[in-house]
Amino acid sequence: MKKRLIYGYLLAGATFIAGCTKDFDAINTNPTKVNAEVFPPNFLLAQSQIKFSNSGYDQLLFQSMWVQGLASTYDYYGNGDKYVYAGSGRSYFERTWNTSYGASTLVDEMKNLIKGKAEYANLDAVGTIMRMMILQRVTDAYGDAPFSEAGQAKAGIVTPKFDTQQSIYTSMLAQLETATAALDAAKDKPSSDLFYGGNIAQWKKLGYSLMLRAAMRLTKADAATAQKYAEKAYAGGTMASIDDNAKVKADETNGNSNSDVNAILVKDDFREVRWSNTLISYMQSTADPRISAVAEIAAGQGKAASEVYAAGDNTAALQVGLPNGYDLKGGAQDVSHAPGYPGASPADPAVSGDVAAPVGKYSRPRFAVYDDRNRINMLMTYGESELLLAEAATRGWNTGNAATHYANALAADMATIAQFNAAGTVPTASITAYVATHPLVAATALQQINMEYFVLTSTTFNFNEAWANWRRSGFPAITAVSYPSQFSTTIPRRIPYPLGLPSTNPTNYAAAVALLSGGDVFSARVYWDK
């Protein structure tokens, strides 16, 4: 993957010496200078995809632990695990905003470059789908946000208005419908596409799957619109297999290392970031065969062993999830007081100076599956779309058979882990047996569907989506942790706006905050979060 280039960057030096000539302008025009006329617009699509997918600490410090997919005793993760400011918390909660708008700006510029050029019709439609994917994350996290005027600085709009989330969703669904329908496999194909390598049929399926996801966000806020677009998405054709999963592979060699992995491989993070008890205990209660694919405890014993970047013991029966809300400070919140505490991993007498590891017996994400700096970032899966169709069908909407969609999702979700690394492969026989013994039951369908959605989005490290769907569905049924000096006594339901907005866009910021119940706080709810 090439590194990002900016217009005006000199690709190669050149010196021209010429006397008076009628060709003066041509001779003195640097043919190696990048400008709008020669810049390849497809390149901006790839740059947008890698930037958007690489969320790193902004989802790990917050969303992953608010929804209780991960847990940690390490102070730096207090932002998500305990709702207390820690480390660079106040700057990190701006990252979802900054990263997303940075990615959408690249799409906006791409669309500017191809405007009016029929040969880029598919790229233009793909750009719209990509932009909707990006800006949905923004509005889901913050609420009202720049949408219709976002990315319009070239047109002189430097203080964009904040569209209401209701209007954003209305426009988003309409734009997804139009752009997806406009895709034509007989026309041009994006030449720099990290999702599908320019496969238009797969982009069409992604477009309808994103329409489905956006529609289902509205189940409580606007059920009629949710049903209308969920049925349209199903009729159009959503993802059909795990080959359609939308994902981006990182490329460390060329400066695009996986930011999730970079964070987790910080020694303190690696030693103390663990799967949450909420996740592991649920998976154990259903005898989920993914447990040994995604979880392990450190091999050996003691602190030194917990810091070794190597595979651990993934025996399913040994896995224990860490409860959220505990620390290593020796007081009332010390992890040693946690219910079911498995005890510290004792110091290894063969290692000089080793000490016990208080969380050494708790399960961490498997090293071989999740800790490759070149690994993928997963953005949406076939399993997610099947679960959403199952829920829509459970609600009586025309989206097929709920039980079939659910069974498809279970099988797909287990097979998807291997896309991170072959070490995460769940045996086919285990998948078949699990699906057969865990059918969808009408009386508990919404719980089954959304708990599987939680397991899927957590084990694929898509914590932005896990947190969003928890707010919408109420699953998993989790309670807030209690800890001194919290910035919220309830599980956060949105992220406050970036600190700079009151000074850089004061009028529009104030108007948006005025519509929030309780103001610009973590406990305020976005439009669809009823």
pLDDT, tens digit (0-9, with 9 covering 90-100), for 145-196: 999 999 999 899 999 999 999 999 999 999 999 999 999 999 999 999 999 9
Please give the Cα distance from 275 to 323 (Å, whole number).
Answer: 9
Candidates 3.40.50.2300, 2.40.220.10, 1.25.40.390, 1.10.10.60; CATH matching 41-257+376-424+462-515: 1.25.40.390
Return the pLDDT at 21.
Answer: 39
Determine contact, residues 256/1, Cβ cutoff 8 Å. Answer: yes
Please give the Cα distance from 209 to 230 (Å, whole number).
Answer: 9
Position 14 confidence tier, pLDDT thresholds 50, 70, 90: very low
Cα–Cα nearest to 430, from 448, 443, 411, 447: 411
Q: Which residues pair with 376 in a beta bridge?
A: 249
Position 33 confidence tier, pLDDT thresholds 50, 70, 90: low
pLDDT digits (tens, 9 = 90+) for 349-407: 999 999 999 999 999 999 999 999 999 999 999 999 999 999 999 999 999 999 999 99
What token pair was written down for 341? 């505490």
Cα–Cα nearest to 448, from 460, 439, 457: 439
Return the pLDDT at 184.
Answer: 98
pLDDT at 346 over 90: yes
CA distances from 210 to 43, 153, 179, 201, 346 (A): 23, 27, 12, 14, 48
Angle at 193 between CA 44 and CA 49, to 5 degrees: 60
Please give the Cα distance from 82 to 419 (Å, whole number).
Answer: 32
- Percent of the chain residues topping a pLDDT of 90: 90
Phi, then psi, of 418 in degrees rounded to 5: -65, -15
- Pair type for strands 70-72 and 376-380: unpaired
Position 32 confidence tier, pLDDT thresholds 50, 70, 90: low
Q: Which residues pair with 274 in a beta bridge?
A: 71
Return the pLDDT at 19.
Answer: 35
- Pair type for strands 364-365 and 295-296: antiparallel
* pTM of the complete model: 0.94
pLDDT digits (tens, 9 = 90+) for 430-479: 999 999 999 999 999 999 999 999 999 999 999 999 999 999 999 999 99
pLDDT digits (tens, 9 = 90+) for 90-138: 788 899 999 999 999 999 999 999 999 999 999 999 999 999 999 999 9
Position 18 confidence tier, pLDDT thresholds 50, 70, 90: very low
Angle at 13 between CA 8 and CA 18, to 5 degrees: 100
CA distances from 21 to 15, 25, 299 (A): 17, 9, 75
pLDDT at 9 over 50: no
Return the pLDDT at 90.
Answer: 77
| CA-derived radius of gyration, the chain | 24
Range list for CATH 1.25.40.390 in the chain: 41-257+376-424+462-515
pLDDT digits (tens, 9 = 90+) for 246-293: 999 999 999 999 999 999 999 999 999 999 999 999 999 999 999 999
